[in-house]
Amino acid sequence: MQALITNIQGFSLHDGPGIRTVVFLKGCGLSCRWCANPECISPRAQTGFIETLCTHCGKCAATCPNAAINTDPAGQRIDRSRCEGCGKCADACYYGALVRYGEPMGAEEVFETVRRDKMFFGDGGGVTASGGEPLLQADFVRRLFELCKTDGISTCIETSGFAPSESLYALLPLTDRLLFDLKLMNPKAHFEYMGASNELILANAAMASGRGADILFRMPLIPGVNDGAENIEATAEFIKALGRNHKIQLMPYHRAGSGKYQALDMPNPLRNLEIMPRDRIEAARAAFTELGVECSISE
């Protein structure tokens, strides 16, 4: 059983409790304008080009079986209509200017990588399946988590909730914690900024809560998009209606993924968006607290 993995990141402190190893899977059904992991959106392997690392040696063009590499510095380096993401150009590049996003790996292979980090997990850490949307590859995650559970490794899923309910339901018994995004409560605004309705997302959140899942809700805090009083109030009311005193964590907008958009020749819709000042972030946290939902900020 294999999946396309873009990265396995050790010693993460922001993707679940404790020290964690995060497995980033490819493929997502949403197209959030602020996505920090654009390389995880497509379910196919892709090749990225980092122009600042290129020495124009030409080895990539000589290796490409599809003639998808343009060596003219004035043109676009990769012809996306020809590129199949095979990674041969990246293997030939000594300088790291070409990067393959999406390596096929088996669940057992990923587990062995995670297991090597076990000494760092302590009592609270473990593995987090992220992406992309890991629930779209539920069979792979299930096998990985079965192996982790057998070895005493705690499990966590970072999800948008936009996936078949049966996939989430099947993984709940193997999942110690869910990091569940609630981005926008207004369905029209949700469709505008993410390309899909939030109906399935809210239904999955309610189902998981009803099944007793340990959920930390999270909100990517995007200035001018979802930081207004109306959305915060609607989000707080939804969480309180679940009846289990769930908490929410704010994840302030950042530009860490900007270089990946450029490397993949993808448009970056919010490239000019200003970083939210600290006082506005604190105001959003305070608003949730005043509405009766415990709120923290991801630092």
Per the prediction, the chain carries an average pLDDT of 96
β-strands 177-181, 98-101: how paired? Answer: unpaired
Mean pLDDT of 131-147: 98
What percentage of the chain reaches a pLDDT higher than 70? 100
Q: Identify the three-state secondary structure at position 84.
A: coil
pLDDT score at 165: 98
Q: What's the pLDDT tens digit per position in 218-277?
A: 999 999 999 999 999 999 999 999 999 999 999 999 988 899 999 999 999 888 898 999
Burial grade of 128 (CB within 10 A; 0-12, 13-18, 19 or more): buried
> Residue 231: which residues within 8 A CB-CB, separation 6 or more?
184, 185, 186, 189
The residue type of 259 is G
Q: Is the dihedral of CA 5, 8, 14, 20 positive or negative?
A: positive
pLDDT band per the 50, 70, 90 thresholds, residue 38: very high
Rounded mean pLDDT, 124-136: 97
Q: How far is CA 202 from the centre of its chain?
A: 18
Domains and CATH numbers, the chain: 2-43+102-297 (3.20.20.70), 46-88 (no CATH)
User: Which residue intervals of the chain are DSSP H helices?
Assistant: 59-63, 88-92, 107-115, 118-121, 138-150, 165-171, 187-194, 199-210, 229-241, 258-263, 278-290
Question: What region does 67 belong to: left with phi over 0, alpha with psi -120 to 50, or beta?
Answer: left
pLDDT digits (tens, 9 = 90+) for 58-114: 999 999 999 999 988 778 899 999 999 999 999 999 999 999 999 999 999 999 999
pLDDT for 91: 95
* pTM for the whole structure: 0.95
